[in-house]
């Protein structure tokens, strides 16, 4: 990369520019999700094929470059940032990035730094995550049965995930459990998962499977609309709609019997795009304005073109003008190809 003299205007342009970015539909973009790696130490059946071909490591941005990109978005009004993958904690030296972004939390420039993880590495990093400003994480866990857990993750160890959850809670991090509802696999387990999560002070969020990336099975075999799951749960629990939000797409209900919250993410049956405040950045510097669309912006080129941030700022602003109204997910047996060819691990959950 050529050495470029830093222009003073470049160096100061983004400082204090806290007016939120607004897309063509009047939605303020205040939430950035960053996939720090497409690699994962699990091979969940609904997410990826068992024999995955991951990005060459040479194609990834450095952690320093990812930090610079995140800082540019924070300067342009992003208030919440979530690190995802793949599994973010398998990236070498990822805690450098966590600590650097955490400085924005400590300064007040960023409201929240969060993480989505499968929990496999959490026991190693929970204390440092908490020290870096992470106050809340999502742990992806689809079942409490070790045999089913092995079946769906292929490579995962259930006990390590439980150890990770214990470590996170001991460090003072609030944990939310994310579970993909899969008909004929874990749908009968959801009531027990709800009681377990709420019994430990954790919210539970259910997610409909999404048609992203080629996998080794037909997603329609296990697709379950959450409207059906909610009806089933209503036979055992009293569910009341509430206005609680975390900044993501989940709609929440309160469960009277447990006193806890249940989130529902319904990309297939209830399009949540009208309130979308999110964009997604990949580990290669590609910005996706929508999870379910292919239009993207290359931020690596302006990032590396100058040590200043004026070109990068312009590229971000131009990308936001192309944020679409919503996604076009379709899942049925007449449409066997995924709606989006890239896997979720590339874009980040």
Half-sphere exposure of 207 (CA within 13 A, CB side): 18
Residue 349 annotated as binding site: no
Residue 123: count other Cβ atoms within 10 Å of its Cβ: 18
Biggest CA–CA distance in the chain, Å, is 66
Residue 283 annotated as binding site: no
Residue 132 annotated as binding site: no
Residue 326 annotated as binding site: no
Residue 280 annotated as binding site: yes
Q: Which of the 8 DSSP states describes residue 25? A: T
Distance CA 113, CA 95 (A): 13
Residue 33 annotated as binding site: yes
Residue 70 annotated as binding site: no
User: Which CA distances in Å does 276 have to 109, 179, 265, 289?
Assistant: 21, 21, 13, 10
Distance in angstroms between the alpha carbons of the first and the last residue of the chain: 31
Structure tokens at 26: 């009047």
Residue 52 annotated as binding site: no
- Which run of H or of E encompasses 98? helix 94-107
Structure tokens at 37: 């790696």
Residue 39 annotated as binding site: no
Residue 30 annotated as binding site: no
Query: Which residues lie below 8 Å from residue 124, measured CB to CB, with a gap of 6+?
Result: 89
Residue 275 annotated as binding site: no
Residue 210 annotated as binding site: yes
Angular region, 264: left φ>0, alpha ψ -120 to 50, beta rest: beta
Distance CA 299, CA 313 (A): 10
Instruction: List, as residue ranges, the binding site for S-adenosyl-L-methionine.
Output: 46, 86, 140, 210
Instruction: List, as residue ranges, the binding site.
Output: 33, 40, 44, 46-47, 82, 86, 116, 140, 176, 210, 273, 276, 278-280, 290
Instruction: List, as residue ranges, the binding site for GTP.
Output: 33, 82, 116, 176, 278-280
Instruction: List, as residue ranges, the binding site for [4Fe-4S] cluster.
Output: 40, 44, 47, 273, 276, 290
């Amino acid at each position: 990369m050529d050495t470029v003299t830093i222009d003073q205007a470049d160096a100061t342009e983004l400082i204090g520019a806290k007016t939120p970015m607004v897309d063509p539909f009047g939605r303020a973009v205040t939430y950035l999700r960053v996939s720090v790696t497409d690699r994962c130490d699990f091979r969940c059946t609904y997410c990826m094929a068992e024999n995955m071909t991951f990005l060459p490591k040479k194609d990834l941005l450095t952690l320093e470059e990812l930090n610079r990109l995140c800082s540019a978005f924070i300067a342009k009004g992003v208030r919440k940032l979530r690190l995802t993958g793949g599994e973010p904690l398998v990236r070498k030296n990822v805690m450098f990035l966590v600590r650097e972004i955490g400085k924005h939390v400590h300064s007040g420039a960023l409201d929240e730094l969060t993480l989505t993880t499968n929990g496999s590495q959490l026991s190693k990093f929970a204390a440092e995550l908490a020290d870096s400003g992470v106050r809340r994480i999502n742990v992806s866990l689809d079942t409490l049965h070790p045999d089913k857990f092995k079946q769906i993750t292929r490579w995962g160890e259930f006990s390590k995930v439980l150890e990770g959850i214990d470590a996170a809670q001991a460090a003072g991090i609030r944990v939310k459990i994310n579970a993909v509802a899969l008909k004929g696999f874990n749908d009968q387990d959801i009531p027990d998962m709800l009681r377990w999560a709420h019994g430990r002070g954790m919210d539970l969020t259910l997610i409909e499977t999404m048609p992203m990336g080629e996998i080794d099975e037909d997603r329609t075999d296990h697709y379950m609309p959450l409207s059906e799951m909610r009806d089933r749960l209503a036979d055992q629990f009293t569910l009341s709609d509430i206005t609680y939000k975390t900044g993501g797409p989940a709609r929440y209900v309160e469960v009277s019997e447990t006193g806890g919250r249940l989130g529902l993410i319904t990309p297939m049956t209830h399009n949540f795009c009208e309130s979308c405040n999110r964009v997604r950045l990949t580990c290669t510097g590609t910005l996706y304005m929508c999870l379910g669309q292919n239009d993207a912006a290359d931020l690596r080129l302006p990032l590396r073109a100058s040590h200043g941030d004026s070109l990068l700022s312009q590229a971000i602003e131009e990308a936001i003008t192309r944020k679409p109204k919503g996604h076009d997910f379709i899942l049925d047996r007449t449409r066997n190809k995924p709606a989006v060819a890239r896997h979720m691990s590339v874009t980040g959950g």
